[in-house]
């Protein structure tokens, strides 16, 4: 479905507030995030219509794993620049928009990223920037509101909320008003409850963690690619079909390697006994020529040394199995001709 495109050159705010809506599907193990005006979002979730900026379904946990992290506080730097632009009033309007344009470019870039929290924060920032301009104490309100929204970005770089210690830090950073979040109960056409955030992501994160715990899912690191994912139990160690495929190929390779090793040993062993039996037969022959016996014994010794060396080369992959079988066949001919 084609989504709306947000315009960061807009100079007047639209009516209505843009919200971040999250629904989790317990059975399918997916998350769905819709970003749009509250009414449009509601329509999208209930009937599939509505014009929204984002409507994306991902594997459960994706939001938590890829959440915007901003240790350098780039969001706040752009916020300050926007705040500064408020001071450029008539006749410096031109300067105002020039300053704002720099930050709009930053927001546009974030808007185009794949990360839903960054997309929402970008839209919210521009809406708030336009909205607060006309308000009493606008610049201050703008700074406060946006800092509140950005707070988990800064923390997230260091703390992953599913780690116990991190959850404590995040919950400590929860301030008055942060916990304002709406819960849209399931309705006929929308069987899932939906948590809807406007001013802070923290309640969304805590809601998410709470649901994961309630459903008994486990945060795991994938044994193949190392990525974090949510598993139904501790026994699931691979994050995706892709990684399961990688592991199956690796298991087959190990199996083939073992099978090849066994085959080499078998070939070596039967060639050894071929020689051994010939020599024994010669020793038991009463009329055996001592010179011939000595020659076969000498050749057998040489064969044993060379066969072991070649076997190890094949195992290391420095020589092919065909080389080895050819060598064994030739030496069998050799002992046969010595016997005549």
List of residues contacting Zn ion (CB under 5 A): 222, 224-225, 239, 243
Residue of 49, 61, 65 whose CA lies nearest to 2: 49
In the complex with Zn ion, the residue whose CB is nearer, 196 or 238, is 238
Give the span between the Cα atoms of 206 and 186, in whole angstroms: 20
Residue 243 CB, nearest approach to Zn ion (Å)? 3
In the complex with Zn ion, the residue whose CB is nearer, 248 or 294, is 248
Burial of 294 (0-12, 13-18, 19+ CB in 10 A): exposed
In the complex with Zn ion, the residue whose CB is nearer, 224 or 299, is 224
Residue 247 CB, nearest approach to Zn ion (Å)? 9
Residue 231 CB, nearest approach to Zn ion (Å)? 11
- Which two three-digit tokens encode residue 302? 């040489």
Residue 24 CB, nearest approach to Zn ion (Å)? 21
Residue 249 CB, nearest approach to Zn ion (Å)? 14
In the complex with Zn ion, the residue whose CB is nearer, 35 or 239, is 239
In the complex with Zn ion, the residue whose CB is nearer, 114 or 225, is 225
Residue 164 CB, nearest approach to Zn ion (Å)? 24
Spell out the residues 6+ positions from residue 55 whose beta carbon is closer than 8 angstroms to its own: 1, 3, 32, 33, 34, 35, 36, 44
Give the span between the Cα atoms of 340 and 165, in whole angstroms: 83
Whether the bond between 143 and the residue before it is cis, its omega within 30 degrees of 0, is no
3-class SS at 42? helix
In the complex with Zn ion, the residue whose CB is nearer, 212 or 239, is 239
Q: What are the DSSP calls for 228-291, one per residue?
A: EEEESSTT----SHHHHHHHHHHHHHHHHHHHHHHHHHHHHHHHHHHHHHHHHHHHH-TT--HH
In the complex with Zn ion, the residue whose CB is nearer, 107 or 222, is 222
Q: How many CB atoms neighbour CB 4 within 10 A?
A: 14
Residue 211 CB, nearest approach to Zn ion (Å)? 23
CA-based diameter of the chain, in Å?
124
């Amino acid at each position: 479905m084609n989504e709306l495109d947000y315009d960061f050159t807009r100079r007047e705010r639209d009516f209505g507030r843009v919200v971040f809506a999250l629904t989790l599907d317990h059975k399918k193990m997916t998350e769905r995030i819709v970003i749009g005006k509250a009414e449009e979002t509601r329509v999208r979730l209930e009937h599939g219509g509505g014009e929204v900026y984002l409507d994306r379904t991902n594997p459960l946990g994706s939001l938590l794993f890829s959440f915007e992290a901003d240790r350098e506080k780039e969001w706040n730097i752009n916020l300050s620049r926007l705040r500064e632009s408020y001071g450029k009033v008539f006749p410096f309007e031109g300067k105002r928009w020039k300053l704002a344009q720099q930050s709009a470019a930053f927001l546009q870039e974030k808007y185009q990223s794949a990360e839903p929290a960054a997309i929402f924060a970008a839209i919210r920032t521009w809406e708030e920037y336009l909205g607060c301009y006309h308000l009493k104490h606008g610049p201050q309100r703008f700074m406060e509101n946006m800092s509140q929204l950005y707070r988990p970005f800064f923390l997230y770089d260091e703390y992953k909320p599913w780690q116990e210690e991190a959850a404590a830090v995040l919950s400590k950073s929860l301030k008055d008003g942060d916990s304002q979040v709406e819960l849209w109960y399931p309705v006929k056409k929308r069987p899932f409850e939906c948590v809807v955030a406007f001013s802070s992501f923290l309640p969304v994160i805590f809601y998410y963690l709470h649901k994961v715990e309630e459903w008994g899912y486990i945060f795991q690191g994938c044994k193949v690619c190392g990525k974090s994912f949510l598993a139904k139990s501790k026994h699931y160690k691979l994050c995706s079909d892709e990684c399961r495929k990688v592991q199956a190929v690796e298991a087959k390779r190990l199996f083939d390697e073992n099978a090849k090793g066994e085959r080499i040993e078998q070939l070596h062993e039967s060639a050894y006994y071929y020689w051994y039996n010939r020599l024994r037969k010669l020793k038991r022959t009463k009329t055996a020529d001592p010179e011939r016996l000595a020659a076969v014994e000498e050749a057998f010794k040489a064969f044993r040394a060379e066969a072991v060396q070649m076997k190890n080369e094949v195992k290391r992959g420095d020589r092919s199995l065909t080389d080895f079988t050819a060598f064994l066949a030739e030496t069998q001919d050799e002992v046969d001709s010595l016997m005549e």
